[in-house]
Structures are given as structure tokens and as C-alpha cells.
Amino acid sequence: MIKNFLLTILLLCSTLTYSQNSWFNLDVQFDQFGPSESFILLTQAGDTLINHTPAVPNELFQTIIYADSGAVDISLYDSFGDGWGPTQSGQSTANITISNSCQGIILDLDADFAFTQYDTTVNLLPCPPPVFGCTDPTALNYDSTATVDDGSCSYPYLIPGCMDPLSSNFNPWAQVDNGSCLSGPSSCPSGQSSVEIVFTPDQWPHETSWTLYGDSGVVGEATLGSYAGVTPGVPISTYICLDELLSYDIVIMDSYGDGMGGSTSGGTMDGNLQIFDCSGNELFNLNDIVPNSNFGTTFTSPQFLVPTGCGYVSLPLGCMDPMYVDYDPLACIDDGSCATLKVQGCTDPNSFNYDPNANTSEVIEGFYNLQILDGASDGWGGTWLGLKQGDWISPQYQMGPNDGNSMSFPVQLNAYQPVYAYVFTTQQSILSISQIAFNLTGPEGDTIIDVIYWDAIPFPFVLESDSIPTFGETCIPIITGCLDSTSFNYIPPTGDPLVDVNTDDGSCIPVIVGCMNPLAFNYDPTANIDDPSLCIPVIVGCMDSTSFNYDPLANTPGSCIPVILGCTDPTSFNYNPNANTDDNSCVPFIYGCTDPTQFNYDPTANTDDGSCIPIVLGCTDPSQFNYNS
């Protein structure tokens, strides 16, 4: 396969008037000694139509030539004198092809013979100018009138890859098989053992091929182009059953001539090829023998012996359907033993939700959270992530340039099968794959996949989850308490069945609303709900309605004063200072002589005013002699 590609196409407008009455496609494939080779095409008049000498090895030269019909003389040159091709140089094939839409293939010359100059002539018939367009009937823009494909075909995007589920590089997302399938490990018949051939590609994996030889000839091979499109630096394994105790050797070939030494030809990564026996013992390692793996065009390994001990192993039989109780995760072949479907429910008779019909207590399905991260916050480019569990495959998860540094997605999984992570990338994105990270975390807080920055490895490497997803048990323990929502000690549910009360134990306490202020008059020690509006303050006073100081507002007994009746008017004659209740007995002061022996005694007087006149006996008749004035 070539590394340098020269394509020259003359795209002419439909209004152009051609002076020539014919044309042809010219395709010339040079070998790895291209710079020492050249060609020239001449008309019958001796005019040069085209001549070319490649600047790089393995160049593919393509163009369209417009010419008059008639003879076209072709001359090929090789300065070394061994011609173009593998027989003469031990290298890749070279040839020249001339064709058009009228005559089809006009010349198809394999230059695999010795020459310094080789001349030939073809007869070009008149042919209308080519119509450029898409000539692929499967393309969206197929042009049935086009005679020359101009590379404009567009297709609905289909993911290419290996579609064989038994292959070691099976791509579950592939929609078009691109022929990249490789063999996977298998059980070998008696007398044979499996060997693993591990190919680690350099920058140009499409150039490398290999052939494994035994006593009977070729026993395995990867032909040229088998590794086209694979990711550099990611090992790819091929498994082959070989006869035990026999010797083998492997021939590795590179079409460009730099072996697998990518770093020696402008790349950054060297390749390698290793062979291991079924026990993992290394039988051959190219890097140990050839520095940088640059072996040129061909390398033949030393012979190695295939040991005994890893022959046929019977594959375990069992039920392979995880939805049955009989499921055997170790089974490789389903033997029809699946009999009892799983019935999800609590199988613990001591649990609150015990189900006598259930046979599986664990939660069968649930959601995990997938978090994808971008360390540079500029998008994943052509890289994307896929998850697979059983027959289920996820959509393509990736981040765009405006998605920040992380995104999260809910992923529905089951509790019986491992989860596999696939990272797909492109040649353009491979160098930035170190900037991606991702993790898968479950509802129980477990992280079963955790790939940090710098650790992502692209397909065909497949990462298996650290454990099977888990979603907890369906059984709910018996939790006793008060279930009466009107009771004082009722606890509203939180939604967590491992916390919420589910069984009433008769402990409910009725709600008692009252005053819970111990300083209040009506403090209620039995109350459990306080209503401050009900509280009455303490009022101390005489609560004896017959007492003088009786207080009708008092709610707490105080000192009482008895009622003392009497005159409470200090201006009265009979004022009683000890009386606290007037009995209307007051007598006003009547001043006068209160001495009945006195002349002016006043029987109505109650207060002597010192006016008494003593009685003076004598004659009171002024007409009498002895009148005494």
C-alpha cells in the first residue's frame, strides 16, 4: 500500500469544446524504487501526451488524457534494469492501466519483468468526452450519465467494522463489515494447541502482512491490507491451532520497505509482533531481534516449537439466559437447562414485604450514571464511547466543543451481566485521546468503570467493568412505630423503605393541645402540643366572696380581709376607724350641753360643747322683790 498519492484529474466545464476526439484514464502504480522509474506517452505524430518520474517510492499516478484517436506509443523506463515488480526486486507489484468508457480496459500491463526500456502501442478509438460525477449506484448523489467518478459521491453514514461476533475485534456498533475481522481464541482438537499472534501496529498498519509456515506450508496469514484502519499502538490478537511439538516460523512483510519502524519513517510509533503459547509463554518477539522493528521489506523469524498441554478443552454447558434462576455465568454453550424464570420479590419471610411466590430478592434492573469528561473542554473530536451489556448496545456518547468539561447520562442496566466499554477514535483524534475520561456509578454508590485522564485505550481494546451492576435488595425490614397520622408520635415517611415505619406497634400517642408554660395558671403537664393562646396568667387575690377584699379576677388564693360593718364617715359622731364596710349607721355631731344637771341640758346633743349653765335657784320673776337676775 502506498504512503504518497498523486491524483490529477482534469475537470472540464460542459461548455468546453474539445479539439481532440477521444480520451482515456491513465493509472500507473510504481514500486518502492519509483524514483528510478519513469514513463512517456506519445501520439503517432511524435507529440508528447504526458511523461512522469515519481518523487517517492510506491507512488500511484492517476490522470485523464485527452487525445486524438489512433496509435498511442508507450515507453516504460527503469534505470536499474530489473523492471518493475516483486519477481525482479523482491518488492511490491507495479503496473500501468489505460481505459475509457468506450473501449473499457485498453491496456493492463504488469511490469513484473526485467527491462531498462519497454515499448508498446495501443489503438485509441474515438470516444465522447467523459461526464464527471458520482458513478456509485449506492450513493445518495449517483449520476447515471457520469462516465468518470470525480470523488463527489456522498453516502448515508454507516459505521464500518468487524461484524462477526466470534471475532476478537468484533464491533457491536458496526453496520458495514469492512473485512477487518480477526480470529479469536478457540479450543483446539486433540494434538493441537492454540498460539496467540499479537500484532501491535505502527503508524502505517496497512503496509504490514505476515505468513506463518509449518512443515506442511502456510498454516496462517494476515494478507496485505488486513490491518488497514486499525489504531496504531493498540495490540490485535489472532489465535491459531497448531500441531504440538512441531516447529514453525513466521515471515513478516512490509510493502513500503521500512518494516514496522514507524519512527524511522516520519512517524512517532514503532510496531511489534509477538507470539505466545497457550500458557502465555513468549515464543517470539520481533523487538528483541530487530531494533525499532525496521526490518526493511521482509523478515523471517527463528523457528519456534509449539509445546503440549493446551489442547482441547470442553466448553462448559449451562443456562445462558440471565433472566432464569438456572443462569450459569460460566457457561459458554446453552444446553437448554433454563427452566425457572426469575420472579422478583422478597424471599425473606422475616421481611415486611415477603412474597411467597418470589424466587429472586435482588433488584433485577435499574439505572447507573455515566459521566464523561473532557480535560481540554474542547470536545472529543472524532472519539466516542460505547457501552455494551449482553445484547444491548448504547448510543454513541461523546462531547462537543461547547459541552464544557463533563456530561452525565442515565444508563439502564441489569444485575446479571458485566458491562463493557469501547472507545473508538480516528487517526486525527488519537493524539488527544488522553484528554478524555469516563466513569459509571450505581445507585448504591459503587463505581464499576472508572477511566481517568491518560488511561483511555481505544478499540480493539475492550474494558470490562470491575463488577456486576447492583441495585440492592427488594426485601424491606420490619420497622415498627406509630402509623396513625393523627397521632402525636407519627413520623411522616421519607420515601426510604429502609427507614420508614411500616408496622404499627400500638405506641401511638394522641395529640393533646394545651398550655405548656409551667408559669401559666392553666399549665397542662399532659399536653404535647403547645397552644400559647390558651395560656392564662396567674392572678393572686382573695377568692372569698364574703370577704372585704374579694377579687373576682383572681385565680390563685391570696389573703382575705373580713367585712367589718360600721360608720366609715370620719365626720360622723359614731365614726368607726376599724369599719371597712359602711352600714349607714353614721350619726351626725349635735353640739350642746349633755349634762342633765345643768340648766341648759340638751337631751338631743351627743357632743358637749361646753355650753352647760349650772342651775341657780332663786326668784325669776322680775316683778318680785327677790327677783334674781
Beta bridge partners of 367: 412
Q: Residues near 179 by Cβ (< 8 Å), separated by ≥ 6?
A: none
Please check the confidence at residue 543 and state whether its pLDDT lies above 50: yes
Lowest mean pLDDT among 271-275, 456-460, 510-514: 456-460
pLDDT surpassing 80 at residue 619: yes
Mean pLDDT of all residues in 335-361 = 87
Using one digit for the tens of pLDDT, what is the confidence trace for 170-210?
A: 888 887 776 667 655 556 788 888 898 999 998 888 889 99
- Position 263 scores a pLDDT of 85
Q: What is the pLDDT of residue 365?
A: 83
What does the alpha-carbon distance between residue 434 and residue 457 come to, in Å, rounded to a whole number?
9
pLDDT 10s digits, 30-81: 887 888 899 999 998 889 999 999 988 878 888 899 999 999 999 999 988 8
Cβ neighbour number for residue 11 with a 10 Å cutoff: 9
pLDDT of amino acid 9: 36
* Average pLDDT taken over every residue of the chain: 86
What's the pLDDT tens digit per position in 569-616?
999 989 999 999 999 999 999 999 999 999 899 999 988 889 999 988
Q: Which domains does the chain have, with CATH numbers?
A: 5-149 (no CATH), 187-305 (2.60.60), 365-464 (2.60.60), 564-629 (no CATH)
The pLDDT-based confidence of 12 (bands split at 50, 70, 90) is: very low
Q: How confident is the model at residue 315, as a pLDDT?
A: 62
pLDDT above 80: residue 8: no
The secondary element (H helix, E strand) that includes residue 274 is strand 272-276
| Distance from C-alpha of 164 to C-alpha of 170, rounded to nearest angstrom | 6
Distance CA 182, CA 196 (A): 12
How does pLDDT run across 97-109, given as a tens digit for each residue?
999 989 999 999 9
Using DSSP's 3-state secondary structure scheme, residue 264 falls into helix
- Calculate the alpha carbon distances from 311 to 192, 244, 246, 372 in Å: 5, 9, 14, 43
Tell me the average pLDDT across 410-434. 86
3-state SS of 14-81? CCCCCCCCEEEEEEEECCCCHHHEEEEEEECCCCEEEEECCCCCCCEEEEEEEECCEEEEEEEEECCC
Query: Cα separation of 402 and 211, whole Å?
Result: 48
Which residues pair with residue 161 across a beta bridge?
177
Among residues 241, 236, 156, which one has the least CA distance to residue 194?
A: 241
What average pLDDT does range 369-375 have in this prediction? 95
Pairing of strands 556-557, 540-541: parallel
Q: pLDDT class for 226, splitting at 50, 70, 90?
A: confident
List phi, psi (to 5°) of 364: -75, -40
Indicate whether 620 pLDDT > 70: yes
pLDDT at 17: 42
Q: Measure the CA angle with vertex 589, ends 585 and 593; round to 5°.
A: 130
Share of the chain above pLDDT 70, in %: 91
What is the distance between the alpha carbons of residues 187 and 300, in angstroms, rounded to a whole number?
Answer: 28
Confidence at 310, pLDDT banded by 50, 70, 90: low
